[in-house]
Structure 1
Amino acid sequence: MPESHPLPCPAATGLIIVDHGSRRAESNELLLEVAEAYRQHSGWAIVEPAHMELAEPSIAMAFARCVEQGAKHVVIFPYFLAPGRHWHQDIPQLAAEAAEPFVGAGVTHVVTPPLGLHPLMLRVIDDRIREGLGAGDR
């Protein structure tokens, strides 16, 4: 896989990586690892994890943390494969509710598309299949 180059962080921009959330702590911990790995990879100073439901931090909590760290614009990235109801409806609504207390301070936000069928996803699928096939040889 070719080396990826981090996206430069615009000034005063925070990033929230949001997943569905789970009752299983180990599932929620994965998002913390993803957020930290992205922070280290990208160099973005403000990267916060959030769970849409069932666990904390919530989108509202993560949004507030971004603003507390100086964000004037918050990018909300749904860590989802498919653009279903959560992406079209639930996350934008929760993001708008989270942003409401900060509108007077000029804080803006955007919800990005989910992972979806990005060309690199095909390589990830190939890698996972290779790992699975290799595991059968052990």
Structure 2
Amino acid sequence: MPDTPSPASPAAEALVLFAHGARDARWREPFDRLHAKLAALLPHCEVRLAFLELMTPELPDALAELAARGTSKVTIVPVFFGQGGHLRRDFPALVDQCRQQYPAMRIETATAVGESDSVLDAIAAYCAASLSA
């Protein structure tokens, strides 16, 4: 039996990219590209986008869809540059609400991507390369 889930069978694990959201639909384009890259990189994992506000799906809706598919573990990665008020106050409350709503699903969170030295190194390399462009 193959290890790859069929389109009809759910992956046991999911990765949710959590972003702020904006009124301008073009704002989400890099997030859609990141989603596509991760979906290709992680074929055994469901990869979803979710937003805090102004765009859909919002995080509770994305998790509801994953719960309905039988996903047992979700890791939420805030695609934020830093730990501002939304990530310190709104995000934990939202995650706690979702944990209560879906107790059978293990929901874990990562720190904001901008808190990672490897992400900052990539941004620094991009900025330095822009000087010679």
Q: Under a length normalisation based on structure 1, what TM-score does the superposition of the two structures give?
A: 0.77
Which residue identity does 2:76 align to in structure 1?
I
Which residue identity does 1:110 align to in structure 2?
E
Identity of aligned residues (%): 24
State the shift of 1:97 in Å: 2.4
> Where does residue 129 of structure 1 map in the other structure?
127
> Where does residue 60 of structure 2 map in the other structure?
60
Q: Deviations over 1:80-125 (max 9, x none)?
A: 121222222211212222343322xx12212211123423124312
Which residue identity does 1:38 align to in structure 2?
L
Q: 1:110 aligns with which of 87, 108, 111?
A: 108
RMSD between superposed Cα atoms in Å: 2.0
The answer to whether the 8 A contact 1:48-1:65 is kept is: no
> What CA distance in whole angstroms lies between the structure 2 residues aligned with 1:94 and 1:60?
8
Q: Please give the secondary structure, in 1, of the residue aligned with 2:48.
A: strand
Q: Under a length normalisation based on structure 2, what TM-score does the superposition of the two structures give?
A: 0.79
Alignment of 1:83-98 (within 5 A): 83-98=83-98
> Where does residue 117 of structure 2 map in the other structure?
119
The answer to whether the 8 A contact 2:12-2:45 is kept is: no
> What CA distance in whole angstroms lies between the structure 1 residues aligned with 2:22 and 2:68?
26
Where does structure 2 lack aligned partners over 5 or more consecutive residues? 1-10
Where does structure 1 lack aligned partners over 5 or more consecutive residues? 1-10
